[in-house]
Structure 1
């Protein structure tokens, strides 16, 4: 009897949730949310020539409630990111927590153009007749990006054109740098074919490929197993040559590790039994 009552309650809650989702999608006017991914989006100026001082990146968005016959403005705000550190008792229960602001927060006018500036507001629209589009964010090439990356956490906000969509699809972090960084789309598929990411492995891949190994390259590898397998073979061959070189062995450079300065760091490898 208890199981029957519990099942009925769970079914009722499920139906209520479905009705709420349907209301947001079909009966609640215009709303906006992110699409595709809320994972960190990494961009590095390292791939640009020295004359490039800014770059516009595009973040996909979706309008719920149908298209309009005019351009609609999407409001963006920067929000603060926090780290949470938990303390546990002897039984593994949480007894306390410490919340601290992340220090690498991007600065408007330094690392990105302010969202309410005349130059960027035209980039932040869903165009007439569209329900999917992309909003533009202008990143700035400051010298501080040579020393480390900075994080721009964006959040979609309500305005005259849109209310906000589902809470889990409102925020995303753009990580901007001017040095080699992990491509934002290096995911489980990339790891399956090429193994774990490290900067040293990335440098080896660039040297072998003789070109950019960036988001575009990773996307191609993720979508083409033949491409990924072919280049994995080339990378593994170059790694074997490096590790077998007597001079590299004598100097301690071989075998190649994730941190060349730490003899105990993880070895660079590529999957072989795939």
Structure 2
């Protein structure tokens, strides 16, 4: 029995030693960058000036993370726009150019750090009231960093000055409030102290389904009650009920 245990230990030691020898040391000297995603929808983002009518510009912050060895010195990072071919945002009109001198101090991975928050400055332009514009942001290769994993290599930002469907308005939100529509969205804003935008839906826990369904059901019931009252008043004066631009009736309950 003692010899049997000895043999097992000996074989196990050999296997461990063999595995240890086979593990290659990390030797890629090329540092890379990715955008940090917290959920699978994090490649998408949106911003609308409709929530902040007094602003002529605003700043959105994204986090980038390094792959590779940590450096003691500060390292410059660069971003670039990649055209989508679908209503692309215009630098200097819809957003501040990434090579603007005022942004340079933010586009840095500090010495000893593995991540940084980088700003994208959006600009209010009259064209944003007529259409939504797309800004696809990617890591620009330089002598310090190259883009990392392809699936984490970009952010697609929608910029507007009108209501747009939040990127995290999921099928769960459709289930609780019905199909999204901008008229419905505005009704929700007008009849609550909430924006019901990406930031608020994230705080509610919509993406990971941790939201309080009782709380959401309370609001769905309240919105439907207020909508019924609104439509009743409309009918009294010979006006139609609340509808979306395509004629679809606004409803919060099926």
Q: Does 1:80 align with 2:80?
A: no
Counterparts in 2 of 1:200 and 1:134: CA distance versus 1, 3 Å: same
After superposition, the C-alpha distances for 1:148-169 in whole angstroms (9 at most, x for unaligned) are 2211111112212212111122
Runs of 4+ with >4 A deviation:
none
Give distance in 2, aligned partners of 1:58 and 1:35. 11
Task: Give 3-state SS (helix, strand or coil) of 1:123's partner.
Answer: coil
- Alignment of structure 1 residues 81-230 onto 2, 5 Å: 81=84, 101-102=85-86, 104-221=87-204, 222=206, 223-225=210-212, 226-230=214-218
Give the superposed CA RMSD.
2.6
Return the TM-score normalized by structure 2: 0.76
Q: Does 1:240 align with 2:215?
A: no
Q: Does 1:31 align with 2:53?
A: no
Give distance in 1, aligned partners of 2:110 and 2:168. 26
Contact 1:44/1:176 (<8 A) preserved: yes
Aligned equivalent of 2:49: 45
Shift of 1:105: 1.4
Contact 2:129/2:162 (<8 A) preserved: yes
Gaps of 5+ in 2: 1-22
Task: Give 3-state SS (helix, strand or coil) of 1:247's partner.
Answer: helix
Contact 1:208/1:234 (<8 A) preserved: no
Give distance in 2, aligned partners of 1:160 and 1:249. 70
Contact 1:126/1:135 (<8 A) preserved: no
Contact 2:43/2:152 (<8 A) preserved: no
Q: Does 1:71 align with 2:74?
A: yes
Gaps of 5+ in 1: 1-21, 82-100
